[in-house]
Amino acid sequence: QVQLVESGGGLVQPGGSLTLSCVASGSIPSIFAMGWYRQVPGKQRELVAEIRGGGGTNYADSVEGRFTISRDIAKKTVYLQMDSLKPEDTAVYYCKRGPWWGQGTQVTVSS
């Protein structure tokens, strides 16, 4: 069983930055694909960013240029660096590996 634990969420002012972390444990390859998703109450969960096993990335149009996904293979950790945050980025952010999801971490962008 794979466990994913997100951390790093919190309250930040518009224009600020946060870095989210997701630590994977259990039966998981050293090199792994990972995705970050977010969900706002009343809306469907949406893809924010993905990093493929080979290291390639893709981003939602709404965050490209502001968010960066990266990973530390040795630590089995994926990161989401979020810069120039906007109120519309407010959501619960989840990491995903295959069929497994983390518990989510709240990001609130507000003055």
Q: What is the mean pLDDT of residues 67-81?
A: 94
What is the pLDDT at residue 30? 67
Going by pLDDT thresholds of 50, 70 and 90, the confidence category of residue 102 is very high
**Do residues 69 and 20 lie in contact, with contact meaning Cβ atoms separated by under 8 Å?**
no
User: Residue 76 contacts by C-beta under 8 Å, 6 or more apart in sequence?
Assistant: 23, 24, 25, 28, 30, 32
Handedness of CA 21, 27, 33, 36 (dihedral sign): negative
* pLDDT at residue 45 greater than cutoff 80: yes
Please write the tens of the pLDDT for every residue from 11-38.
Answer: 999 999 999 999 999 887 767 789 999 9
| Most confident segment among 29-33, 53-57, 93-97 | 93-97
